[in-house]
Amino acid sequence: MSIRDLARHLDISIGTVSRALNGKADVNPETRERVLEAAKQLGYVPNQSGRSLRQGTTNTIGFMIESTIETVDNGGSFFMPVFEGVQSVFRRHHLDLVALLCGTDEDPASYLNRVVARRFVDGLIISATARSDPRIDFLLERKIPFVALGRSATKGDYPWIDLDFEGVASQAVQRLAGFGHRRIAIGTPASDINLGYLFLDGYRRALADHGIAFDPELVLPANGNEEGGYQVACALLAQNPMPTAIILVNENMAIGLYRRLHEAGIQPGRDIAVIGFRESTQSRFLSPTLTCFRISLRDLGIKLAEALLATLPAFASQYPREKVALIWPMELVPGESDGPMPSSAA
């Protein structure tokens, strides 16, 4: 069922059929009606390759995620709501969203190169930005519309949105300092991912603001998953005196941390203050509930989509915003896992 078949069936030219289907003005309303009716009847949908070849656009947006140890296990719970938000915007513009999964054994930059060169997508959302990220230079140079979920030290004029890692670290320190804590540990990502630096920066600045000396011993790098949280707890327990508070950069860490603390008979909120990162369905059901930060991932997705649309030539007029460079705030959700200094340690 090609446009030719449809035209033959209606006994009009394919040019007219095309124009009718694409809502061009110069077509008889009655003819259009007939065409649309027949298309529906016969289940005709234009072949995307034909359109793409002719128009040079694919009407498809790629959201690139890398399967790392952290995302394979848990990343889905972060990305799925974001996708949902992105898609809700794109659907209005008849753009399709596809998730581009860069495997663990493939270099992200060369994967991206392939996707772009094949003209697979009209625009891209990239995530997990590295401190120095060659993908950004590449996309800028090729003038491929994209938006980054995550900042990077890589320079250039491109839109990005990132979570407020410094703000989270800083709010957490402030809250804990207010409770009287001074030995505040921090669980950071073990990898080179950019957010780790931001998180640490916010932590250090907030410590300084509260006149607390920075102690490198209290920075505990680990993988951003349950296992990592378990190791962070081990590292905490090994210290003497043990820190009275811990801030985590990743929501999944909390699960493993809770486990190890439980094994040691230490209860969050009573014996140690714990502040997690992102509120998740899990964190709400931990016992005791986790003090953490709330964010609407769906809204984040919506904003990402809008930021990208503003850079797409075909849609820029509808989204005539400035280039987005946005640090997305996160809202503290108090739980039972932190509070005043345990009296024994005071």
Partner DNA sequence: GTGAAAGCGCTAACAA
Partner DNA sequence: TTGTTAGCGCTTTCAC
Query: Site residues (CB under 7 A) for DNA?
Result: 2-4, 12-16, 18-19, 21-22, 24-31, 46-47, 49-51, 53-56
Task: Tell the smallest beta-carbon distance from residue 102 to DNA (Å).
Answer: 22
Out of 31, 36, 120, 342, name the contact with a copy of itself by CB under 8 A.
120
The residue to which tokens 């990402």 are assigned: 304
Out of 88, 174, 191, 267, name the contact with a copy of itself by CB under 8 A.
88
| Contact flag: residue 106 with a copy of itself (CB under 8 A) | yes
Q: How far is 78 from 66, CA to CA, in rounded Å?
A: 13
Q: How far is 199 from 191, CA to CA, in rounded Å?
A: 13
Q: Dihedrals φ, ψ of 77, to 5°?
A: -70, -20
| Contact flag: residue 14 with a copy of itself (CB under 8 A) | no
Out of 11, 26, 30, 105, name the contact with a copy of itself by CB under 8 A.
105
Task: Tell the smallest beta-carbon distance from residue 145 to DNA (Å).
Answer: 18
User: 189 with 224: CB under 8 angstroms?
Assistant: yes
Task: Tell the smallest beta-carbon distance from residue 227 to DNA (Å).
Answer: 44
- SS3 state at 185: strand
| Contact flag: residue 190 with a copy of itself (CB under 8 A) | no
Give the per-residue contact string, 34-73, with a copy of itself (x = CB under 8 A; - = no): ---------xxxxxxxx-xx----x--------x---xxx
Q: Which ranges of 156-267 would DSSP assign to H, the alpha helix? A: 165-178, 194-209, 226-238, 253-263
Choose among a copy of itself, DNA, none what residue 79 binds, the Cβ cut-off being 5 to 8 Å by kind.
Answer: a copy of itself
DSSP string, 252-310: THHHHHHHHHHHTT--BTTTBEEEEEE--HHHHTSSSPPEEEE--HHHHHHHHHHHHHT
Q: How far is 147 from 324, CA to CA, in rounded Å?
A: 9
Binding segment for a copy of itself (CB under 8 A), chosen from 77-85, 164-172, 186-194, 325-333, is: 77-85
Size of the site for a copy of itself (CB under 8 A): 63
Interaction residues for a copy of itself, span 246-265 (CB under 8 A): 252, 255-256, 258-259, 262-263
